């Protein structure tokens, strides 16, 4: 009998998007598209569509931890990403699990600090921001804030690529992890430029804007693609490049779903 093909496992810890465009659903589709088996731990449920978030119901801390434990108990997880965690209690659960490094092999941890949805809905409790900064971000291999999230993390606006570069250095200095500041919402820019900095290497990753498309779930897809690339054995700078290429292709190949767009290539 021929040997069965083995594929690596990546875990997403995030919220469920009932519209299927972001969150757990986007992460799992991205993992599959890149040839990685996706496992999941659902931190919260959202009643959501591409236009708005109607409601959020958080998972209990006990159940969230059990989901993560179940995955690590039997699956050789190669990389992990977090998305919408919503509550201070659930952020603490994730931080405690991955902070106990002696209990399990150290795996790359990508933290997408989901604070606000594209439609403007708050996706993290106000009291949870401090816990995120103090307990989870220092454990991250990479954090992937957009412009608004980077502003919250350092208390300064980012209105140019140069300011994004400075923000990346400040975030790295403050939390001790690599950072990818995403500039997709940078005004008066002809390209979507992101800044990666890990203390030694800086990358400026640019791609032309795709006109006429309003996307949903790009941040989730981007961080999931980086996570998948790490699970496949790439180093971090290369994984970030793969993530940028993947999300750019997904945006350019977007499809119509009703009155909205869904990312393609997934």
Rama region for 162: left / alpha / beta (φ>0; ψ in -120 to 50; rest): alpha
Superfamily for domain range 9-262 = Ribokinase (3.40.1190.20)
| pLDDT confidence bin for 199, thresholds 50/70/90 | very high
User: Which residue in the block uniquely carries the two structure tokens 């981007």?
Assistant: 222
Please tell me whether the overall predicted TM-score, pTM, comes out greater than 0.85 for this model: yes
Helix (H) or strand (E) holding 243: helix 236-252
H or E segment and range at residue 79: strand 77-82
3-state secondary structure of 187: coil
Q: Is 182 helix (H, G, I), strand (E, B) or coil?
A: strand
SS3 category, 201: coil
Q: Is residue 205 pLDDT above 60, yes or no?
A: yes
Question: What's the mean pLDDT in 67-76?
Answer: 95
Closest by Cα among 19, 16, 12 to 45: 16
Report pLDDT for 218.
86
User: Quick check: helix, strand or coil at residue 266?
Assistant: coil
Mark residue 212 as left, alpha or beta (left: phi above 0; alpha: psi -120 to 50; beta: remaining): left
pLDDT band, residue 83 (cuts 50/70/90): very high
Q: Considering only CA atoms, which of 148, 118, 125 is closest in space to residue 52?
A: 118
**What is the per-residue pLDDT across 13-31, written as a single tens digit (0 to 9) for each?**
999 999 888 999 999 999 9
Task: List, for residues 153-172, the tens digit of each pLDDT value.
Answer: 998 888 888 999 999 999 99
Active-site positions read 182, 215, 217-220
């Amino acid at each position: 009998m021929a040997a069965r093909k083995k594929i690596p496992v990546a875990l997403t810890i995030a919220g469920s998007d009932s519209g299927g465009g972001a969150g757990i659903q986007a992460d799992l589709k991205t993992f599959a598209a890149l040839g990685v088996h996706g496992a999941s731990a659902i931190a919260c449920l959202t009643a959501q569509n591409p236009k708005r978030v109607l409601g959020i119901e958080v998972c209990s801390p006990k159940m969230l931890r059990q989901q993560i434990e179940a995955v690590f108990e039997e699956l050789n997880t190669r990389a992990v990403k977090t998305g919408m965690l919503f509550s201070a209690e659930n952020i603490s659960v994730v931080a405690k699990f991955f902070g106990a490094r002696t209990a399990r092999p150290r795996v790359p941890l990508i933290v997408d600090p989901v604070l606000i949805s594209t439609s403007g809905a708050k996706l993290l409790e106000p009291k949870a921001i401090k816990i995120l900064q103090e307990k989870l971000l220092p454990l991250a291999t990479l954090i992937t804030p957009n412009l608004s999230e980077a502003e919250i993390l350092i208390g300064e606006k980012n209105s140019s690529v140069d300011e994004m570069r400075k923000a990346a250095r400040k975030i790295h200095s403050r939390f001790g992890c690599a950072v990818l500041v995403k500039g997709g919402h940078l005004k008066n820019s002809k390209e979507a430029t992101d800044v990666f900095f890990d203390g030694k290497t800086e990358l400026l990753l640019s791609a032309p804007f795709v006109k006429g498309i309003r996307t949903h779930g790009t941040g989730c897809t981007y961080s999931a693609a980086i996570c998948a690339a790490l699970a496949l054995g790439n180093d971090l700078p290369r994984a970030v490049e793969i993530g940028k290429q993947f999300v750019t292709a997904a945006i350019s190949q977007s499809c119509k779903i009703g009155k909205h767009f869904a990312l393609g290539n997934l």
